Amino acid sequence: MLSNAQLQRGHNIAKKVLRQFDLDPALLDVFTKKQRINITGSSYDPPVVRAIKEKTVPKQYVKKINEELYKFMKTNYWGDPEGKLSYMELATNGLAFLSMVNIYSSTDGLLANDTQKETARRICEKYDQLGMMQEKGFDKVLQYLKYLTRSLSQVNFRLYGFRYTWEYLEPKMYSVFPSLRMKIELTARECESKVFTYYNIERKAFRLFITEQGFTEPSWAIVRRNKIFPKAKKNEELNIYIQSHALYRFKERIDILEPPDRNFLIQYALTNAQHVVKTEKETLLACLIDGKHPAGYFTFFIQGHDIVINTFLYLASDNTPEGKKLHALLKLSREDILYLGMDRISFYAKVDFDRIPLLKQALIDSDIWPLKLVIDEMADEEQVKQGVSAIDMQKTMFVKNFFDKFEAYHREEG
């Protein structure tokens, strides 16, 4: 027997669902009290997260993903956020309510009159069961799970993914109909490596793999050959390998991000956000930190059907399009850049550039400034959490003193 609190919760969620469908919650009043209890009192089980095979995913990872998924589904809303229908409410009472309306509408004898039948029909018109239980209903949830699994994946160790289904459960005590539950099954794949010889030096590289992501099948990560060589055939592909040196440089230079975010970013940049940039000297793969603005560039060489990422260039390097402009504007040496710390993106969060107009204008003119703005947004989020400013005045004054002397020297030279 359901408690009054459970019945009230189900009724409230049913009204939220109707509002999301632009239907008047008062439509529920056409049903009898018993019908309303049966229709709005039903609930599916909360989602479950588990490894698809035992001992393939560490227990702490399963626990973390389960906790983070629950938190996300309880605090993020489906449809119009103003309606406050959380993904957890949709996955439990919301879908159960819609399913029960569908059952009542399609089963003879359960609805007593034309008004009830018309009301059920209007609700069912809005309800696409298959779509609601797949991407249409839970696309943002699946995107978040994609982030969670990729953030725990390491290219040179193990890569995690997930499968998403709904499973039937035995009917609950108060119902004759079977219940459903969202099921997330975590998958794991050990990394694969290969030794490449480049300039007579042998180094191991790790193959990038795209794991299962909900409904998508796993596959090897590739770069279309015609992205690098425009005249190549459209169906020619290059397998992506990454050397440890590139992973080390990436970790060193994208230092503002925590390991989970770095894990996600390197996979995202080399799969979903592939962006090839050609310079006078070479072709690079951009690391787009927000899908639009580069935080640096991957260099690579090609052997046969493989593209091998061998290092990561910071944005101010004179081998990048932006860095080349910066060096032309300021005549800084590589040693100057390293001395100032401009090879790490934390530099752009720590320095108050309003105190160093020459450098600020050079960053704007060289197209590096958009990276600083993206990092500011990220830093602002951390500031809210920690209650501190990202600006480091000691670092700022260090950089300011350098440029004060730099300007004085060039005035004398000029």
Give the pLDDT confidence of 150-176 residue by residue, as tens digits: 999 999 999 999 999 999 888 766 665
- The per-residue pLDDT for 379 is 72
Q: How far apart are CA 254 and CA 236, in angstroms?
A: 32
Compute the half-sphere exposure of residue 233: CA atoms within 13 Å on the CB side of its CA. 3
The neighbouring-strand residues paired with 201 are 198
**Predicted confidence (pLDDT) at residue 55 exceeds the cutoff of 80:** yes
Residue-wise pLDDT for 75-118, tens only, equals 999 999 999 999 999 999 999 999 999 999 988 888 989 999 99
Burial 233-249 (b: 16+ CB within 10 A, else e): eeeebbbbbbbeebbeb
* Selected residue with higher pLDDT from 126 and 62: 62
Tell me what the pLDDT averaged over the chain comes to.
92
CB within 8 A of 367, min separation 6: which ones?
321, 322, 325
Out of 137-141, 180-184, 332-336, 385-389, which region has the weakest mean confidence (pLDDT)? 385-389
DSSP letters spanning 352-370: -GGG-HHHHHHHHHTT-HH
Q: What is the mean pLDDT of residues 262-279?
A: 95
CB 372 within 8 Å of CB 324:
no
Tokens in use for 48? 């479950």
Strand stretches in 231-346, DSSP E: 237-243, 276-278, 283-288, 294-303, 306-314
- The per-residue pLDDT for 135 is 67
Tokens in use for 9? 């919760």
- Residue identified by tokens 């309800």 is 127
Closest of 95, 53, 103, 102 to residue 78, by C-alpha: 95
205 phi, psi to nearest 5 deg:
-135, 150
Q: How far apart are CA 298 and CA 287, in angstroms?
A: 7
| DSSP conformation class of 345 | T
**Predicted confidence (pLDDT) at residue 414 exceeds the cutoff of 60:** no
- Domain positions in the chain are 4-188, 193-314, 321-413
Q: How far apart are CA 319 and CA 326, in angstroms?
A: 11
Most confident of 103-112, 238-247, 387-396: 238-247
Report the 10 Å Cβ neighbour count for 294. 24
Residue 56's pLDDT band, with cuts at 50, 70 and 90, is: very high
Residue 346's pLDDT band, with cuts at 50, 70 and 90, is: very high
Tokens in use for 308? 């091998």
Query: Alpha carbon 333 to chain centroid distance?
Result: 37
Class of residue 281 by CB neighbours under 10 A (exposed 0-12, middle 13-18, buried 19+): exposed
Q: What is the mean pLDDT of residues 121-147?
A: 86
Q: How far apart are CA 413 and CA 345, in angstroms?
A: 31
- The per-residue pLDDT for 280 is 85
Tokens in use for 47? 């989602």
The neighbouring-strand residues paired with 190 are 158
**Predicted confidence (pLDDT) at residue 252 exceeds the cutoff of 60:** yes
Q: How far apart are CA 329 and CA 321, in angstroms?
A: 13
CA distance to 31, 103, 114, 328, per residue, from 117 (Å): 10, 12, 5, 75
- Residue identified by tokens 């720590």 is 350
Burial 301-315 (b: 16+ CB within 10 A, else e): eeeeebbbbbebbbb
**Which contiguous run of DSSP H or E holds residue 149?**
helix 135-152
Q: How far apart are CA 138 and CA 349, in angstroms?
A: 35
Tokens in use for 23? 């239907």
**Predicted confidence (pLDDT) at residue 20 exceeds the cutoff of 90:** yes
Q: How far apart are CA 213 and CA 142, in angstroms?
A: 8
Tokens in use for 341? 């710390």
Sheet holding 213-214, edge to edge: 45-51, 179-190, 158-169, 213-214
CB within 8 A of 1, min separation 6: which ones?
173, 174
The neighbouring-strand residues paired with 167 are 181
